[in-house]
Chains A and B, each alone.
Chain A
C-alpha cells in the first residue's frame, strides 16, 4: 500500500466504538497515524491540538454533529481534505457535505473496508 515519507495524521470522528476502531485500524494499515475522537467536541479539540492532515467525519454524533465539526475545522484550515463516512442517506446531507467542500460522502454500510482504505489513501494524496 502507500508509503509516505512523513507519517500523515488522520483525525477520525466516530461515536460508534466498534466502527471507530475498525476505521482506525485501516488508517494505520494504510500507513498513517490515527487520531480518534468519540464525539464532535473531542474532534474539534483534537484537531486544534494535533493539526491533522485529513479528517474522516461521521454525521450523527453526540455534543456536535459532523457538519458543525467540519464548519469549525474549515475555520482553521480551509483546504483540509475531509471525507464524510456516515449511515445517513439523505440527498440534502450529501449536498450540505459538498457545500462544505467535502471530498467524499460515503455510506458505511455500502463500502467494504478495502474500498475505505483506498479512499483514505486517495484522500491524503490529494
Chain B
C-alpha cells in the first residue's frame, strides 16, 4: 500500500459520503448531526428528515429490553455495540441491519459523539433462511428411507423375522452400522445448522442419568464388542442422579463424547464413566485409554470441521462436527466442557446445571 505523504490529505467527509454503508454521527443523546447519502437510500428518509432527528426514525422495532441494553453498552459502559437489528424504512417495510455503534470520548472520558454504521443484510438473511429450510427438507427426506433401513435391519438382527445364521447376522450388522453412520451424519448437519442460526430451543424434563448412559451404551454395543473395549460405568443405580434438562440435547452431548471415546481407543482399551455432583451442578467425566489429543490440536478440537491429522490416520470416518456440536449444546444447557489429555488417553468433563433455566 502506498504511504500517504504529509502534504497529501484525505477528504474524509468525501470518503464517508461515498461509503456503501450507512453512516451517522450523533450527539450523546442520539440526535443526528451527520448522515451520509447511504442513510437515505437504506431508510428511505430524506437528508432533511434525518438531520436533527434520532435513529428512532427507522428503529423502534426491537423489544424495549434490547434498547435498554444497547444504551447501557454505548452510553454508560462506553463500549462499542455490534449486533443485528430489525429496522423499518419510511415506506413501512422491515429490513435486517448489521449495526455497529461506537462512542467517541473526550479527554474527560465523556461521550462526545456516537458513530453508527449500518449495513442492510436482509438479502443475506433471506438466503440463510432458505438454506436452513433446504437442509431441514433434505434431512427429513433422507431420514425417512434411513428409518426404514434402520428398523428393518434391526428387526432382522433381533431374529424377529426368523433366526439368522452367523454369516447373515454379520452381513446385516454391516448394513445396520452403515445406516447408523448415515443417520449420525444427517443429525450432525442439522444440529450444526441449528447452532449457526442460534435457534436451539430447550424443554426441560426429568432425566435419570442412569438411563442416559445405559441407553447410549446399549446403542454402542456393536463397536464396543468390535474394539474389545471394557466399559466401567459408574452410574449403575437408577434414580441416583436425576436432573431437569433438555433430553435430546443432553443425549447428543453424551452420545458424541462416548462414541468418540469408543472410536479413538485402540482394541482392549478401557472407558470410565464417572459422575460427581454439587448442589447445583452435575459433572460427568468420560475417560478413555485412547490415542489422546496432542500439541496444537488441543486448541482446535472444538472448532467446526476440525479433524486432527493423527486421528485421520486412525479413522477416515468423521465430519469434524461432533465436538463443535457438543460444546455448543453444552453451553446451551448452561454448562461447560473441558478436557484433559496430558498422559495416556483423554478425559472429557461435562458440567451442567441440575435445573435448566428455560428461556422464554
A interface, CB within 8 angstroms of B: 16, 18-19, 22, 25, 29, 60, 87-92, 94-95, 98, 107-110, 112-115
Contacts of B203 in A (CB 8 A): 94-95, 98
Say whether B199 contacts A109, CB under 8 Å.
no
CB-CB nearest in chain B for A116: B151
Say whether A110 contacts B144, CB under 8 Å.
no
* 18 pairs of residues in contact across A and B, judged by CB atoms under 8 Å: A16-B148, A18-B148, A19-B147, A25-B155, A88-B136, A89-B139, A90-B136, A91-B200, A92-B201, A95-B201, A107-B248, A108-B147, A109-B146, A109-B187, A112-B150, A112-B219, A113-B155, A114-B158
B190 interface residue (CB < 8 Å to A): yes
The main secondary structure of chain B at its interface with chain A is: helix
Say whether B139 contacts A19, CB under 8 Å.
no
B143 interface residue (CB < 8 Å to A): yes
Say whether A89 contacts B148, CB under 8 Å.
no
Say whether B144 contacts A16, CB under 8 Å.
yes
A105 to B38, CA, bound (A): 49
Say whether B158 contacts A109, CB under 8 Å.
no
B interface, CB within 8 angstroms of A: 136, 139-140, 143-144, 146-148, 150-152, 154-155, 158, 160, 183, 186-187, 190, 194, 199-201, 203, 215, 219, 248
CB distance from B315 to the nearest CB of A (A): 22
CB distance from A1 to the nearest CB of B (A): 13
Q: A89-B139, A109-B146, A113-B158 are in contact. List 5 more A-B contacts (CB 8 A).
A: A16-B144, A18-B148, A19-B148, A92-B201, A109-B143
A94 to B194, CA, bound (A): 14
CB distance from A9 to the nearest CB of B (A): 22
CB distance from B186 to the nearest CB of A (A): 7
CB distance from A43 to the nearest CB of B (A): 18
Say whether A94 contacts B155, CB under 8 Å.
no
Q: Which 4 A-B pairs have the closest CB atoms?
A: A91-B201, A87-B143, A108-B147, A109-B143
Contacts of A108 in B (CB 8 A): 143-144, 147, 151
CB distance from A108 to the nearest CB of B (A): 4
A109 to B144, CA, bound (A): 7
CB distance from A7 to the nearest CB of B (A): 21
A110 to B322, CA, bound (A): 16
Say whether A87 contacts B144, CB under 8 Å.
yes
CB-CB nearest in chain A for B143: A87
Contacts of B183 in A (CB 8 A): 109-110
Say whether A22 contacts B136, CB under 8 Å.
no
Given contacts A16-B144, A89-B190, A91-B199, contact A109 B150 (CB under 8 A): yes
Say whether B140 contacts A88, CB under 8 Å.
yes
Given contacts A87-B143, A108-B147, A114-B158, contact A18 B186 (CB under 8 A): no
